[in-house]
Amino acid sequence: MGSSIARVGVVGAGQMGAGIAHVCALAGFEVIVNDVSEARIAAGLSTIGGNLGRQMASGRITDADRKAALARISGSNDFAAFGNVDLVIETVTESEPVKRDIYARLCPMLRPETILATNSSSLSITRLAAATDRPDRFIGLHFMNPVPVMDLVEIIRGIATGDATFETAKRFVTKLGKTFTVAEDFPAFIVNRILMPMLNEAIYTLYEGVGTVEAIDTAMRLGAHHPMGPLQLADFIGLDTCLSVMQVLYEGLADSKYRPCPLLVKYVDAGWLGRKAGRGFYDYRGEVPVPTR
């Protein structure tokens, strides 16, 4: 049974968890979404409903698809609900102690053959796996944000991840209609290893006064054909997330080129975390985002 996935558990009903539950349900999997409170679960389910509605309005899915997907999703704030799932995807905050604490409470509720995956964007899969009772059935499945729109999933094996787990993960991602790339278990994998230092460099460019927020974003949009400027993208991702990934790179690879920009640290200290906080490199509290520098 371990090789085929029918039922999926998602830990965390935030932006990533809701997106993953959405694509799993649309692909025909039964999904149980878990979070600490009924209110968080309800908010996640409401996000999924809204996003499915938008996909229907744009003609990407039918109303029947939308209804069927919603019918496949349920919520629970108790890990005991995961007793019958084949795969659990953990999507909680990018903090190793938080993830370890969840695994300690989650693993005893799972069947021995259930695969446990983390959506971590930067932490060591090997180290997280070692905190569970199933390192051979532990794997990294790093989805991109926003999940329903982005085509890529990075698959990362820990040192102990078994071949059967790896093959099952590849089939699962393909069934979701996503493309996978396989990354080795080094800090931040492929996408963030390349993307985050670029965003950090854009922040250094601002910090050193080489260009204004607007000049930097316009330059990269029109000069490098990026769909979004780097400072706008950093705000979209969350400056706290950018900082935590840069810290993982800096500590994990001990190379000064990964040093987080002091201006990034300052914005995070101020609580200006980007779009979700109403302010970051842009102020989002008015009709139109306005640069804050």
Q: Which residues are catalytic?
A: 121, 142, 154, 192
With helix as H, strand as E and coil as C, how does 62-119 read? CHHHHHHHHHCEEEECCHHHHHHCCEEEECCCCCHHHHHHHHHHHHHHCCCCCEEEEC
Amino acid making up residue 217: D
- Residues with Cβ within 8 Å of 154's Cβ and at least 6 positions away in sequence, in order, are 140, 141, 142, 180, 181, 182, 183, 189, 190, 191
Residue 1's Cα: distance from chain center in Å? 27
Comparing C-alpha atoms, which of 236, 248, 264 is closest to residue 15?
Answer: 236
Which strand (E) or helix (H) includes residue 152? strand 152-157
CA separation for the pair 187, 125 (Å, rounded): 9
Name the pairing type of β-strands 87-90 and 290-291. Answer: unpaired
Give the 3-state secondary structure of residue 148: coil
Contact 61, 149 (CB under 8 A): no
Contact 207, 268 (CB under 8 A): no
CA separation for the pair 274, 283 (Å, rounded): 8
